[in-house]
Amino acid sequence: MTLQELLGIELPLIQAPMAGVQGSALAIAVSNAGGLGSLPCAMLAPEAQRAELETIRAQTARPYNVNFFCHRPPEPDAAREGAWRAALATYYAEYGIDAATIPTGPGRRPFDASAAELLAEFKPPVVSFHFGLPDETLLARVRGWGSKILSSATTVDEARWLEARGVDAIIAQGLEAGGHRGIFLSEDLSTQVGTFALLPQIVRAVKVPVIAAGGIADAAGVRAVLSLGAVAAQVGTAYLLCPEARTSAVHRAALQGEAARHTALTNLYTGRPARGILTRLMREQGPLNAMAPAFPLAAAVVAPLRAQAEAAGSGDFSPLWAGQNTSGCRAVPAAQLTRELVGR
């Protein structure tokens, strides 16, 4: 079965959910153009989530995807967070921020019973998860609505794990991909491989359809993953300059410069490794720093620095999420980009 048949979409293309830089507008534009638009919910409070879902329902009759993180919230660790705040003290001083006033808190919610409660009102055609899957009871609930279930695999082992739990399709997330690595069976980043290596090995290892993600920036890229056995491509970075995305001004500027060619995996902005353009914070603290608080607690520590720096036009403390291939980023309407990505 093609992914189009499975999900009821016209084009073999999924717009990657990108929490923090897009909402319903991008999802609607892509779904109406025949791809699968995605609403990332990890950073949405329940009321915002409801409003976004209502907007999507009102503005498209086509299938759409709702995306959730399914991490286990960590125990707060005051000592670790204190040490990290101390490491950032010179930055706080530089921006005149009183570290004592910085709120703590998770910033990103996992899919849980209350999220399922809200989602039950919408019964979205597709629900995708990152960092594995929610527990069996919650997953059964989603399945009960008839929603098709997707999740990301970053290794062959993860793909087999997801298949055994009954997902409808697997997203093979190559190391080129921007944003959070979906890795969930291990913390060893040396297990993470490029799309060219990951995709064919997952295609060979599982029977469910496989969607390719990571480094796909244009129609040639989409053709290439289809010829490697994918049923569809998931594309994120290329959409970041679209007017429907809420990408910040500093992020848009970085994506269009030479700096965009140098990305790294970093845990400084959230606590989990995610790929973004190198920033001052990443350069000075090392992109992967064991002191950064556990996911998602690291976000609050950097948030005030980010806010002040961005207000001054600087992305020094911003998560400038991007994949390794920004050559497809263009400031064109998402519907046009969607059609061009599949060569129409």
Residues that bind a copy of itself (CB under 8 A): 155-156, 174-176, 190-191, 193-198, 200-201, 204, 214-218, 220-221, 223-225, 227-229, 261-264, 278, 287, 323-325, 327
Q: Kindly report the backbone phi and psi dihedral angles of residue 194, in degrees, each rounded to the nearest multiple of 5, phi listed first.
A: -70, 160
Distances (CA, A) of 220 to 142, 185, 317, 322, 343: 35, 32, 34, 19, 8
Closer CB to a copy of itself, 6 or 228, in the complex? 228
In the complex, least distance from residue 123 CB atom to a copy of itself, rounded to whole angstroms: 35
In the complex, least distance from residue 260 CB atom to a copy of itself, rounded to whole angstroms: 10
E-strand stretches of the chain: 13-15, 37-40, 64-69, 126-130, 148-153, 169-173, 179-180, 210-213, 232-235, 263-266, 274-277
In the complex, least distance from residue 29 CB atom to a copy of itself, rounded to whole angstroms: 24
Closer CB to a copy of itself, 175 or 294, in the complex? 175
Closer CB to a copy of itself, 194 or 333, in the complex? 194
260-268 CB contacts, 8 Å cutoff, 24+ apart: 260/322, 260/326, 260/329, 261/326, 263/178, 263/322, 263/323, 263/324, 265/181, 265/189, 266/319, 267/292, 267/295, 267/298, 268/292, 268/298, 268/302
In the complex, least distance from residue 154 CB atom to a copy of itself, rounded to whole angstroms: 12
Closer CB to a copy of itself, 72 or 204, in the complex? 204
In the complex, least distance from residue 43 CB atom to a copy of itself, rounded to whole angstroms: 26
DSSP classification of residue 43? T
In the complex, least distance from residue 332 CB atom to a copy of itself, rounded to whole angstroms: 18
Return d(Cα 289, Cα 272) in angstroms, integer: 10
Closer CB to a copy of itself, 308 or 325, in the complex? 325
In the complex, least distance from residue 115 CB atom to a copy of itself, rounded to whole angstroms: 33
User: What are the residues facing 65 on neighbouring strands?
Assistant: 38, 126
88: left (phi over 0), alpha (psi -120 to 50) or beta: alpha
Which tokens belong to 295? Answer: 């996911």
Closer CB to a copy of itself, 218 or 244, in the complex? 218
Which tokens belong to 191? Answer: 């297990």
In the complex, least distance from residue 19 CB atom to a copy of itself, rounded to whole angstroms: 22
User: Distance between terminal CA atoms of the chain?
Assistant: 22
Closer CB to a copy of itself, 225 or 250, in the complex? 225
CB atoms within 10 A of CB 34: 18
Closest among 210, 245, 251 to 230, alpha carbons compared: 210
Closer CB to a copy of itself, 119 or 198, in the complex? 198
In the complex, least distance from residue 53 CB atom to a copy of itself, rounded to whole angstroms: 33
Closest among 73, 10, 16, 13 to 40, alpha carbons compared: 16
Return d(Cα 108, Cα 297) in angstroms, integer: 8
Closer CB to a copy of itself, 74 or 200, in the complex? 200
